[in-house]
Structure 1
Amino acid sequence: MTDQLELQSTELESLAERLDTAMSDADGLAADARAVFDAAVESLGALHKQGLTTIIRTLRADARGKELLFALVDDPTVRMLFAMHGLIRQPPEALARRVLDRIRPGLQGHGGDVELSHIDGSVAFVRLTGACNGCSMAAVTMRDSVESALTAGVPEITSVEVLPNEPAPAFIPLTSLRAPARGHDSGGSADQTAELTAAGWLRTLPVADVPVGTLRAVTAGAEDLVLVNAGGRLAAYVNACAHLGLPLDDAEVDADAGTLTCPWHGFCYDATTGECTSMPGAQLRSVPLRIVGADAWLRPGG
């Protein structure tokens, strides 16, 4: 199987090189000849795109066909062909992270940093740290830089919202938990509970209900979420696979590998980051998590 993949990769590189060479050679054609060449390439491309579009629409109309389509896109040759004709595009989350990676060195050079939380509609939600987080003129300038980069680099994004940084951990090491003192509420004091509730946090399950190597589906407000315990670390995500948005209730958690695998089509995620290991660019949407007493509190939409 490995030899077959290597052969396929070599053939793909050879075809790509031949195409690049032909396009480069065309630059040397006389104006009339170049016009004929461009017209032929444009017509051939339009014909291919129309045929591929019909194939994609037909496959999408059937459940089994949709599954086959996603399997086809995993093939590098098919993926390149679809991308050449603009029939697939990167998820906005992946594109946004790539944009932020480009401007990150500049932010870090001024003592700041940025993290993408999620994208909702046309709004990107980010968290700013260090010098980026504050009210100084420098901080405002860097926030404006982040917004300008995202709105210019990601067509789907038209505005950026800055989320508060505290508290906002997505992962909690369970080894840091301490058993509540006898006579105390395992969910925290009444004042602490009231403060968390006012800030939009919702109490879900006791941590003990999510043992190592398991996943539990919970509802917080109007959102369906999952709590995952991979290797003694608790994580929270929106209950939707980044592939087709199907629920992760029966996903397989591998505590040793630190992975979460969707039960529908086998998409595998790093339980620490939510990044898809089987399809780079796909990402689970993390949810802020806190442990108070012995309970897990989540902040949906945060």
Structure 2
Amino acid sequence: MTAVAERPAPTAVPPEDRPIEDLAAALDAATAGLTELDDDARRTAEGLRHALDDLHRAALVHVIRTLRADERGKELLFALVDEPAVRMVLLAHQLIKPDPTTLARRALEQVRPQLQSHGGDVSLDRVEEGVVYVRLSGACNGCSMSAVTMRNGVEEVLRQVLPGCAVEVLPNEPGPALIPLGEVGLRPGAADPNWRRTGPLDEFPSGRLVRVVLPGQPGEEVPVVVINVDGQLAAYRDSCAHLGLSLADSEVDPATGEITCPWHGHRFDGLSGESRTLPGAQLDPLPLRVEDGHVWVRTRS
């Protein structure tokens, strides 16, 4: 026996006065109901739907072409596209394409879970003249091979939706260089031996770079530097991105938080680790967390 999809109950509210979310939900429910039909009925229903779609598309194309032919019509068309219901229908019929910013944002949402699983993240700054500007944070914002791989993944997914676009990674704006424990899925302490307690928070005064040596893999010590920039902390491996020498005696500009390596004068942003003098160079960041008045650093991924 052929199953028949339930027809939505009639409503006293005309469609044009109903919320767009309700209309979309009703459409989704009707489409899902097609799966409950047997093969012959489903083919008939889908044929009817496609015929209606073709008719609607032909009518919409005619309306759009007529409006475009007149200057005043163009203004009206642009105004109509901003209406949610009109925009949804035009998008469904592929008569307009999402703007580049929307496409880029959707693409980044695809790779964000993978980046966050490695302690990093990506945010879209803007799309301008064929260039997508993004900011990488956390573990993605380093100079290691894994960070390079993550950057390449971001560029690849953006170019899939915006062919021919250029991708530029912007330096991070000043802000907390902390990786929330919820994003790495572990809390410091006994439950995760890779998190190491460095010392009380007051041992890391603002405008100072403090060197600590923490346990890493069995038998390994990991030299780390922690910087406090006006109450915002960041941790890096104690290795200058130029020649890998210690940053322990670096000068810190208390106003800007800029780190100046004592060996060759290379300068780095204290909260992002990006080099100000050596393009492409980057200090190697480590996840940091303040917990119960102590500073914790994760020395192993």
TM-score range, shorter chain: 0.3 to 0.5
Which entry has the higher C-alpha Rg, 1 or 2? 2
**Structure-1-length-normalised TM-score:** 0.44
**Structure-2-length-normalised TM-score:** 0.44
